[in-house]
Structure 1
């Protein structure tokens, strides 16, 4: 009996000892509520508001939008008068996103109106303590990238095949427009780029920022281009080659962007309208109606008129040696006596006069004689200032190494 009692006491002691740790373990494993995720946008903590997101619809106005959320007409008038110098409520655009932040109570009164001007810039109308308005930008990061491409038929197609933004083709045309004739690219021509892309909040693609360096192999000859800032006032860089020579020339290679040459300068061509053989002393660039036509060099407009043969045309005198003319415009954008700069829009592609379809006939005079511009040795732009030469070569050294390291995809 004594032994049995002893065993019972030992079992009770062990059970009692085991009970206490179980209670402690439960306490230690108690589940805590997770902290709320703080959401910030446009400089506001959205957790503090009732958030309404929408886009401007047909028939909407600033007043209608605020009125639909309980703002009375008198207050709307007061808001419009206060903000109209910074934010014109009459110019909100259909399809643009906006956001309204309301107070989180039964009244649900609008406190903030945010309108997206574009993907990066936005306007805030703050209705809290007093009415105020300001513009701001979303956080934008710039990421450097490299790419290569090979021409099969055109530059734009090569850019598309590489899965790149078509803006890169436009930017490359701007860089090389003085040195490469993009209407004469050949299959097998190729390029490498070091460029920058913009991202909103590090995740949302916002387009091409700039091209830092490029090399374009045209007919197996490399054409280098490096971005370099010499004018701190304008803040706009220019492009120079591997020997610090400017890519810019006195004349552009073409009077418009991305078309095809439908007819070249020729001493004898069958005229499609007059149905006879005659000299064609111009270069025809076919392009969609309304395509901007620009002056190929700085100068003064000496004619902006209409004739039955030329249609709407503009003639520009660049200096004592060079004059250019642009025919068959649907609309002229300059007047006689007006000074224009290289790249200024002077009209738009049409088919006025003796023309079978929309195009611009580009004519070129040297010392009063009409010539083929593609056969002329045209002057270059001003070279880079000598004082910048050492810093230029220092700046392009790592960029050139990056270009050399890029591999071409197999053709």
Structure 2
């Protein structure tokens, strides 16, 4: 009987997830979709059947003037475009390799009547040479489709995303979102990810890139980290990414490796001289925080433990790599609470204040590396990252609730070997 009820419960949960996915998908409509079913002969807003169409790309030595003269456009019209419409179409800035289209008359002269220059995959400039000359910019019909991706890393992140057919630009976007919480050079087999983002399609068929990630989940060394973009300031051009508890993923460093009950007993000082050593120059490349023995020492930012041991004058210490730029070290511990390779979050207890190594009293010597060089953290202009304001927290949590549910219901797609030619796709439940 227990087995029966267990199977029934799993079936109900799976059904709920599927229903949640369908509801979420139903809510996602194409953004700015313009005439999705427009036939090919109305590209660029013209009925191409009414012209003789020439499609080509700008080549070395090509100029707008020469192209127009070649296709029987009067010289005064060319001059007018160059002089009167340079803010819309600067003829001097056409680039080699850019596609263009010339719509020519169907008579024996085949005079160029419209010149269309593709600025990029979506945006283009039209130079209308019929009757009165005009020039304007426009964009192709674009539809947006939401993409759901969920995978398990076997070797590396880019390989996992590539086998799932994800644009490399999305890989870069994901690494930027988690730059302060995940060391992408230290990923492990079995780390997991889930993504929601939109892909752009021209005329509903031609892929034209991706939009910023709308939601993400990354599980690194068993630690789950959600990411949702949210704008807390209407004046900001870009939204920050926050986790499911409204913490900013652009996590700044804490001001001290101890929460309270400490004092700064010695500052970073490259010109320090000590009487005990005959006033010889003995630079101090750390900041000492004096506190009672046994006081918890916390990680000042998310990262991976690269060292956890005892060595010479350092005594028992821990070193953490936070990203490609920053690392921190905590010396003279009574004992350590983490091991090498362990992933820690900002505020986790990594050890306790002690007097091991060369020290005249209980304290933690906090050392800070930037690009491999020890610097003074109290003088560094470090990234700021505020959590969601209390006044917006309820609105934020309500906003992400259905998105988080959609992420949670995604099934992982795993390739048995990311680098193999004949990969086999395996689906795992959330």
Fold shared by both chains (TM-score > 0.5): yes
1:320-351 Cα deviation digits (max 9, x unpaired): x999765xxxxxxxxxxxxxxxxxxxxxxxxx
Relative to 1, partners in 2 of residues 1:94 and 1:38: Cα closer, same or farther, differing over 3 Å? closer
Question: Is the counterpart of residue 94 in structure 1 residue 59 in structure 2?
Answer: no
Q: What residue number does 1:190 align with?
A: 192
Aligned to 1:119, the other structure's residue is in SS state coil
Provide the rounded CA distance (Å) in 2 between the counterparts of 1:46 and 1:211. Answer: 37
2:214 counterpart SS class: strand
Distance 2:379 2:234 in 1: 39
Partner of 1:40: 42
Counterpart secondary structure, 2:215: strand
- In structure 2, distance between residues paired with 1:83 and 1:53: 23
Partner of 2:408: 404
Q: Which has the larger displacement, 236-245 or 64-73?
A: 64-73
1:409 CA displacement = 2.8
Q: Is the 8 A contact 2:250 2:384 kept in 1?
A: yes
Deviation, 1:76, is: 1.9
Q: Write the distance in 2 (CA, Å) between the matches of 1:379 and 1:74.
A: 56
Aligned counterpart in structure 1 of residue 377 of structure 2, from 351, 366, 369: 366
| Partner in structure 1 of residue 233 of structure 2 | 231
Q: 2: distance between equivalents of 1:226 and 1:409?
A: 22
Residue 282 of structure 1 deviates from its aligned partner by: 12
- Name the residue aligned to 1:389: 393
Verify the 8 A CA contact 1:82 1:132 in the aligned structure 2: no
For 1:210 and 1:202, the matched residues in 2 are separated by 19
CA distance in 2, matches of 1:95, 1:387: 51
1:177 pairs with one of 156, 159, 179: 179
Matched, 1:70 2:72: yes
- Partners of 2:100 and 2:223 lie apart in 1 by 51
Indicate if the aligned counterparts of 1:225 and 1:241 stay in contact, CA closer than 8 A. yes
TM-score between the two structures when normalised by the length of structure 1: 0.61
Q: What is the correspondence of 1:7-406 to structure 2 with a 5 Å cutoff?
A: 39-250=41-252, 361=372, 363-367=374-378, 381-406=385-410
- SS of corresponding position for 2:200: strand
How far, CA to CA, are the matches of 2:310 and 2:85 in structure 1?
A: 64
Cα offset for 1:367?
4.4
- Aligned to 1:366, the other structure's residue is in SS state coil
RMSD across aligned positions (CA): 3.4
Take 1:153 and 1:63, find their aligned partners in 2: how far apart are those partners? Answer: 53
Distance 1:295 1:131 in 2: 58
- Specify every segment of 5 or more residues in structure 1 that has no aligned partner in the other structure, as ranges: 1-36, 252-260, 269-280, 287-293, 297-320, 327-360, 370-377
- Asked if structure 2 preserves the Cα contact closer than 8 Å seen for 1:52 and 1:100, the reply is yes
- 2:375 and 2:251 map into 1 onto residues whose CA distance is 16
Identify which of structures 1 and 2 has the higher relative contact order when contacts are C-alpha pairs closer than 8 Å and 6+ apart. 2
May I ask how many residue pairs the two structures share in their alignment? 279
Q: Are the aligned partners of 1:197 and 1:210 in contact in 2 as well (CA < 8 Å)? A: no
- CA–CA separation in structure 1 for the residues paired with 2:92 and 2:374: 45
Q: Following superposition, which runs of at least 4 residues in structure 1 exceed 3 angstroms of deviation?
A: 72-75, 321-326, 361-364
Aligned partners of 2:177 and 2:241 also within 8 Å:
yes
Cα shift at 1:149: 1.6
> 2:46, 2:141 → 1: CA distance?
14
Q: CA deviation at 1:116?
A: 0.1
Specify the structure having the higher radius of gyration (Cα).
1
SS in 2 for 1:216: strand
